[in-house]
Amino acid sequence: MSDPYGYSQPAERPKTLTYAVYGMWLGGLLSILSTVFLLTMDTTEMKTLMVTEMEKQPTYDPSVLDAREMADVFVPILQIGGTVFGLITLGLWIWMAIMNGKGRNWARVTGTVFGGLSLAGSLSSLGNLAGNAALGGAALPTSAAGTVLAVVGPLLVVAILVLLWVRPSSAYFSAVGAARQRQRAGYYAG
């Protein structure tokens, strides 16, 4: 295998890394599904829930802020922002899949940072849902598929991170890095 810059891969990619790359492509697919679910959510239910929650606040003053108008403005912003975030997430999944598949150690480190941030966000979201449920608060409406994605996503991230850092994958990243160093040294010496 070679890349467009003339660096050849020193060894066959291990199955652990191949599975991690497949997982990244699956993560990209999940980000598409999450975005589709966000766009197809029942906005009427979302707006009603937001209005109800705003009106329950002790500091809510309808003469200053109309809860219905606020919900009418906020829900489309939430959907547009979620769509943009979903597209960025898709791009990051694809970029990490390609570069990790090529054995670039910087991509493994970057993917690990992205994975850690993703896990922190997922745990925070799950904590908010659990806290709201325990305290009788409201949560945004979600479908069964959305709930499944909320659980599958973090599990996929953990599996990918483990596969990126197990011994066969680490040996491959080291071998690719060493081969690139040797080829660069030969290029600069010649």
Buried/exposed code over 3-23 (b: 16+ C-beta within 10 A; e: otherwise): eeeebebbeebbebbebbbeb
Best CA proximity match to 169, nearest among 109, 84, 113: 109
pLDDT band at 1 (very low <50, low <70, confident <90, very high): very low
pLDDT over 60 (residue 154): yes
**Residue partners of 146: CB distance under 8 A and separation at least 6:** 34, 37
pLDDT over 70 (residue 95): yes
Residue 2, both tokens: 């070679």
Q: CA-CA distance, 111 to 161, in Å (whole number)? A: 8
Residue with tokens 């922002």: 81
More confident residue, 158 or 135: 158
| pLDDT at residue 8, rounded to an integer | 57
Mean pLDDT value across the chain: 86
pTM (2 decimals)? 0.81
CA 56 to chain CA centroid, Å, is 33
Best CA proximity match to 41, nearest among 136, 144, 118, 151: 144
Best CA proximity match to 18, nearest among 170, 169, 136: 169
Instruction: Tell me the per-residue pLDDT of 160-174, one tens digit each, with 9 for 90 and over.
Output: 999 999 999 999 999
